[in-house]
Structure 1
Amino acid sequence: MTKTGLFFSLLCTLLISTLSLAQYTSSDWESRDKWMKTDFLLEMAEVSAGDVVADIGCHEGYLSMHLARKVESSGRVYAVDVRDDRLATLRENANSRNLSNIITILGDYDNPKLPEGALDCVFVIDTYHEITAYKKVINHIRKALKSKGQIMVLEKLKKRIIGKSREEQVAAHSLAMHYVEKELQQAGFSIVSKIENHGLWEKEDDKQMWVILAKKTLQ
């Protein structure tokens, strides 16, 4: 590699590292509270003190922190990710906020490894489109929920891939509501409510958020 190539490689690595760190500062989280309307989502899912919930695709713990405060010390949050480094950062974030009711789980790509029949609600926020084995994962989630447990899915739909196939949308890290709605119903869920336009992801004009709240049905 030439000196010029090495310089640009190092510069890119530095920029990526810097952006990765900046993405999860407290100020960024506060901004996300507003554009994602997080408090509204937790009210919509009726999360309350004593609940047992899960955050699948938790990353460094943005939603897990909110959930931990909402369910209070009598409740429990299972924070699931497939990367242990993210979970390590989440534990640091939780400790710095004196939150002791979060349990981290290193999940598999086809299994979130949640306890069966224990959960009141599972949140899958901006993660569903990343799940290749979605049928298996949905089935695991259903088994983990209590008899009247719920799942909330939030995704973003990019304008340029509206009307495209599921495969094309997933390749663009995006997904339309109708795909997920059908998949949840086929897996034994009934739709409780849905929001087709929940606002703009990160306030970007080409990324419209949608939300589905579904309930486990008895089979």
Structure 2
Amino acid sequence: MTSVRSFLILFMGSVFGLQAQYTESDWEERDQWMKTNAVLSMTAVGSGDKVADIGCHEGYLSIHLARKVSESGRVFAVDIREDRLQKLRANAHDRNLGNIITILGETDNPKLPEGDLDAVFIFDTYHEMDAHEEILQHVKRALKPGGQLMIMEKLKDWVRGKSREQQVSSHSLGPEYVREELKQAGFTIISEIEDHGDWERETDKQMWIILAEKSD
């Protein structure tokens, strides 16, 4: 990702979701408004699978995934900030989860194993990826044939219908841009939710989800 712009502002600084992911004290509430279990049930992920969480922050989604794939599976948790990964490892240790592998990625490369993954998740981070084209190609190479990619984002009302650049500058992104970028990268969209509810229960921030599959 050539410059993740200062996110997964998934969460804080801008890099891979550094801004929007929460600390551990927020996780239980997030389960409710994000409907996390329902979201993960949209995918084919199950016991023994290998998956990746790009923009993992302190491990909210990675820990959910670790339980879903069970001890026989693997979760590759990627962030570009080592301090976040250190916190994730502590959170996983506290929960006796030994199937999470942390990866210190780069802004244009999540450094995932090639041809080995069943699914990749990018939650509230894609909008921070300036090098989204390169990242999608890395994701595609990491997935097995038929592997899935799920992207979740939020669209803020005040940038709805605006240019991609305007939306990204507000840490937001509409599905119309991502839909085309996925198709151009060689993915087939298999499911969409245009309105998954309100991000953090704020009615001016609408969550959406796209589930895609590696085409070749």
Same fold (TM over 0.5): yes
Q: Higher relative contact order at CA 8 Å, sep ≥6: structure 1 or structure 2?
A: 2
> Does structure 1 conserve the Cα–Cα contact (< 8 Å) formed by 2:24 and 2:60?
no
Structure 2 residue aligned with 1:92: 90
Match of 1:104 in 2: 102
Structure 2 gap ranges (5+):
1-18
Sequence identity of aligned pairs in percent? Answer: 63
TM-score between the two structures when normalised by the length of structure 1:
0.88
Shift of 1:171: 0.4
Tell me how far apart the structure 2 counterparts of residues 182 and 114 of structure 1 sit (CA, whole Å).
23
1:159-217 deviation line (CA, Å, top 9, x unaligned): 00001100000000000001000000000000000000000000011100000000000
Matched, 1:122 2:120: yes
1:213 and 2:211 correspond: yes
Task: Tell me by how many angstroms 1:149 deviates.
Answer: 0.2
- Code of the residue aligned with 2:52 in structure 1: it is A
CA distance in 1 between counterparts of 2:32 and 2:117 reads 27
Q: SS of the counterpart of 2:200?
A: helix
Partner of 1:133: 131
1:39 aligned partner = 37
Of 44, 51, 54, which residue of structure 2 is paired with 1:53?
51
Contact 2:55 2:125 in 1 (8 A): yes
**Structure 1 stretches of at least 4 aligned residues deviating more than 3 Å after TM superposition:** none
| Cα-Cα RMSD | 0.9
SS at match of 1:135: helix
The answer to which structure has the higher helix fraction is 1
Q: Deviations over 1:35-87 (max 9, x none)?
A: 11100111101211001000000000000000000000000000000000000
1:123-149 deviation line (CA, Å, top 9, x unaligned): 000000000000000000000000010
Match of 1:173 in 2: 171
Alignment of 1:133-212 (within 5 A): 133-212=131-210
Equivalents in 2 of 1:165, 1:181: separation in Å?
15
The letter for the 2-side match of 1:25 is E
TM-score by length of 2: 0.89
Letter paired with 1:24: T
| CA displacement, residues 86-144 of structure 1 (integer Å, 9 cap, x when unaligned) | 00000000000000000000000000000000000000000000000000000000000
| 5+ long unaligned stretches in structure 1 | 1-19
